[in-house]
Each structure stands twice: as C-alpha cells, then as structure tokens.
Amino acid sequence: MSLDSTARRRMILGWFVNYMPTAWNRPWAGPNVTGWTDGQFYIDMARALERSSIDLIMLEDSSVVPENFGGTMEAEFKATVKAPKHDPLPLAAAIAAATTSLGIVTTMSTSLYPPHRIAQLQATLDQLSDGRAGWNVVTSFEDLAARNIGLDTLWEHDERYARADEYLRAVSSLWRAGAVPDARGRAVFEGRSFALDAPGTTPLVQRRPVLCQAGGSSSGMDFAAKWADLIVSVPSGIDAMKAYRDGIRRRAEAAGTDPDATKVLYMVTPILGESVAEAEDKEARMYSAEGDNFLRRLVQLSNIAEIDFAEYDLDAPIPEDATTNGAQSILEGMKKMTRGSSLREAMSGKGESTSLRLVGTPESVADEMEAAIDQVGGDGFLLFHGGGGLISRHYLDDVLDGLVPELQRRGLAQSGYGPGTFHDRLTNDTLRSTT
Ligand SMILES: Cc1cc2nc3c(=O)[nH]c(=O)nc-3n(C[C@H](O)[C@H](O)[C@H](O)COP(=O)(O)O)c2cc1C
C-alpha cells in the first residue's frame, strides 16, 4: 500500500475532549459509567481516531471547580460541566503508548506552570510519542485559579498575553538548548534564568511541540498568529469564520510567519442520522430544556457569563434591572432573548456554541463542511461533543463510521497518515490517500 498525494488540500480534523466522566445519565452511556477515571475510554477513543486517520486529539484542561451557579460547587458536580476532572498529561502519555500516528495536544496554562516545567513535560511527551506532542497554550481566566498559585486574582487579560509572549521565548530557548547549548542563556522569564532539565539536554524529535492556541480577542489573535502552528476557534457562521481566518493570516504575515503554515480549525458538533429528520429529532432531544440537560446548560452559561442563573425565575424573562460584574454583553444578549418569553423557552434547542450547525445525514453534513471550507479558504474542523458527561462510543461511531468515511470518499479528509512528525503532517496538507 503506498501513499499518493494529489494537489487538493485536505481538511485537517481534530477532536477536542475533556478527561471527565463520559455520558452517564443519557442513552448509550455504556455499561461502565463510573469507570472514566482509568482513562481507558479515552485511550480506546484515541485508537478509534487513529483508525479513522484523524490528525489529532486535543485534551482540555482548567484547574478550578467554578462556583458561579448557586455560589457553590454542587451544581458543577451534578451537571458534570467542569468537574470532576483529571489531569490530561498522564493520559497523553498513555495515549502515546497506545497509538503511533495521532497528534496529541495537551493543555497547559502559562499562568499556572513555571516555564521550565512546561518545557520539560512537553519535551518528555514529544520524545515518548516520537514527535507527536502538541501544547494548547492557554493563559487561564478564572480568578479562582489564582488561589492555586498564591494570588488573589490573575493578571489582566492583555497582561496575561504579554507574559505568555515572554514565556514562549523562554521555553523556546530551553527547547533549543538540546541542540544549541548557548540558547539556554536566553531562557529568562521575569528576570530569572533557568537551570536546564534533563529532557532538554537532548533535542526534541520535533523542533518544538506543535503549538496550538485559541486566541479570540485582538491580543489573543496577535499572540496566536505569532506563535501557533494550529489555531482552534469558534467564530459563528461562514462570514465570521472567514473574517477570523483572514485576520489570523494578516497578523501572521505582519509577524513574519508563513500564513500557510498556520492552520485554523473551527469547532463543530455534527449530529448525524440516517435521514435529516432523524438527525433533527436527535438534536431536539440532545438540547431540550428539560431536567439534567437544562441544568447543565444553565451551569455552563453561568460560567461563561459569570452570572448566577440560580437566582432567576426560569419561567420568566430576565429582569431588565439585572446586573453582573462579569460579561455585560452576554447578560444584555440574554435579556433580549428572553423578552416576551422565558429563560427556559429561550434556551430550548440551544446546544454548545459551535461555528456551524451541522445536523443531517453523513452526506448532507459532508456537503456543508465542504462548502464551508471552500468559502472560508481552509483549514479544518475541531470535533467536539460538548464538555463532561456527554461523550459516548455511540457518538464516536456516528462520526467515525458515518461522517469521516464520507469525507474520505470525497477526497476531503486523509485515509492514512503522511510521513514525519505531527508538525510535518500538519503543514503537508495536500491530500494523502491509501491506494
Ligand atoms: C476550542 C477551544 C478550546 C479551548 N480550550 C481551553 C482549555 O482547555 N483551557 C482553558 O483554560 N481555556 C481554553 N480555551 C479558552 C482560550 O484559551 C481563550 O481564552 C479563549 O478562546 C478566549 O480568547 P482570548 O483569551 O483571546 O480572549 C479554549 C478555547 C477554544 C475556542
């Protein structure tokens, strides 16, 4: 079997997942709803992704259990939105041992880890996985997280990115130090230089791990365009997707980076059926404003907007005089949505925030993905089935046995991996198919 490449650019496909409970209070939860902690579901998932030639798995992380809904952690655990959760790094090592070609992206925060720890851990993962490590660079935004590092609040938004820029220069020097010993002298962060950790004394398999980022703000986009190989995003609709990608490419060019080497993925949650009607019915049930689903959604919104929705009457509009210290624009948007109806009604049928609503058969969804990438100009999609408590083998099968083969048949997705490292395969995005 040989790998042939054609001139057509393919979609890059990734899957974003939380190391949290899998589906447990919904259909097709599987027989072992409490067994998520051993990581086996996610290791099996990584193997399934690799069988389908998916480019990468991306493991989410955050370090707090929010208390926005009802002022306690109780609802978080009940709804399994952000907790309970395990650390993705050891899971990444187990996934590396169980796979050979899948890119493995782990999330680590520049606000919470000292630079030499990330340099060392990512170098180790890169060597363990033979050149398949990626780092999702986040700066953290929850003030609760600050307590874990002895602070009351985190740095201001733009200052977090300014620190992250200095941070990336420092870790890059540490990674270069394996090959260029005097690079270590430039590994300085906040006025302090670092001693070299052992994994940094041998060159990484990749020049550096694949750098992934999700800057949405102007300073975030500047940072992403300067540093990232892979950008994950959720602009809503084709026009916003195109504007986002064009903005990143302009910024990359201004920063002296090749825009074609910076890949942008859009987050989507395809809902698939044997007919469009069946898929729409599934969607309506998935996002109905009933019971556990509704609580989950409220907790999620409370986290995003920093509004305690536990204080509101769910069957009435949001009062016009309601205020928040958090995201004013989200509260104003919610008020508008509930005027003349109720919070419950306004939220009925609303799913995760994604770039495109993809609901239909494998064929109709592949049509929409193809049209979107053609209009936007590139580069691929980040699949996601919501946060904790939602993913099931049943959903994975819908996508991996239904949608992905349809994309492969059309020559839109790869049916085998190209040679080299994770980074090599990302930048070589002409279609590779097994023939
Ligand atoms: C697909 C995607 C995945 C993200 N994953 C994480 C994560 O695992 N941990 C985290 O703290 N933030 C995560 N974020 C938040 C981003 O790092 C970033 O803060 C957010 O996109 C807002 O952009 P801004 O910081 O430029 O305002 C993610 C964002 C997106 C769009």
Distance CA 275, CA 289 (A): 24
112 lines ligand 1 (CB under 6 A): no
Cα of 60 vs centre of ligand 1, distance in Å, is: 9
142 lines ligand 1 (CB under 6 A): no
353 lines ligand 1 (CB under 6 A): no
Report the nearest atom of ligand 1 relative to the CA of 107. 8
Question: What are the sequence ranges of the domains in the chain?
Answer: 3-274+354-434, 288-347
**pLDDT higher than 70, residue 432:** no
Highest mean pLDDT among 192-206, 289-303, 375-389 belongs to 375-389
Label each residue of 171-228 as H, E or C: HHHHHHCCCCHHHHHHCEECCEECCCCHHHHCCCCCCCCEEEECCCCHHHHHHHHHHC
CA distances from 136 to 105, 178, 199, 387 (A): 6, 22, 20, 17
400 lines ligand 1 (CB under 6 A): no
Closest by Cα among 8, 101, 55 to 263: 55
Distance from the Cα of residue 120 to its chain's centroid: 22
**pLDDT higher than 80, residue 352:** no
**pLDDT higher than 80, residue 199:** no
Q: What's 290's DSSP letter?
A: S
Phi-psi region of 188 (alpha: psi -120 to 50; beta: other; left: phi over 0): beta
Distance CA 158, CA 297 (A): 29
**pLDDT higher than 90, residue 196:** no
The predicted structure's pLDDT at residue 1: 32
Report the nearest atom of ligand 1 relative to the CA of 61. 8
Distance CA 187, CA 29 (A): 47
Region 401-427 average pLDDT: 96
Assign domain 3-274+354-434 to a CATH class: alpha beta
387 lines ligand 1 (CB under 6 A): no
Helical ranges in 28-79 per DSSP H? 40-51, 74-79
Task: Quote the tokens at residue 165.
Answer: 């820029």
Distance CA 407, CA 401 (A): 11
